[in-house]
């Protein structure tokens, strides 16, 4: 390619622009674990009492947020693919 040619008009750049970004992939709805977790989250308020929902799930949610924030700060969750 010479200095006077425009790099945007090259066919290699058109193929690179058409490929999606790796971090913007479509979600995978075929994962059975995701379906099980979703089903449990939908059914649990109908089956569990107030203590279990507030104390157990609330504590688990808080500890999960702390764990995710520590993973992000440590750098393990930033761009690992």
pLDDT of residue 23: 61
Altogether, the residues listed in the chain come to a count of 81
38 — pLDDT class (breaks 50, 70, 90): confident
5 phi and psi, to 5 degrees? Answer: -80, 145
Residue with the bigger pLDDT between 46 and 13: it is: 46
> What confidence tens digit (pLDDT) does each residue in 14-29 have?
555 556 666 666 666 6
| Residue 13 and residue 7 in contact, taking contact as beta carbons nearer than 8 Å | yes
pTM over 0.85: no
């Amino acid at each position: 390619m010479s200095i006077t040619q425009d790099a945007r008009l090259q066919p290699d750049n058109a193929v690179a622009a058409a490929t999606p970004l790796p971090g913007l992939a479509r979600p995978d709805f075929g994962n059975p674990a995701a379906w099980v977790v979703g089903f449990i989250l939908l059914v649990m308020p109908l089956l569990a009492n107030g203590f279990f929902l507030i104390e157990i799930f609330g504590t688990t949610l808080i500890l999960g947020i702390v764990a995710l924030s520590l993973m992000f700060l440590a750098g393990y969750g930033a761009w690992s693919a």
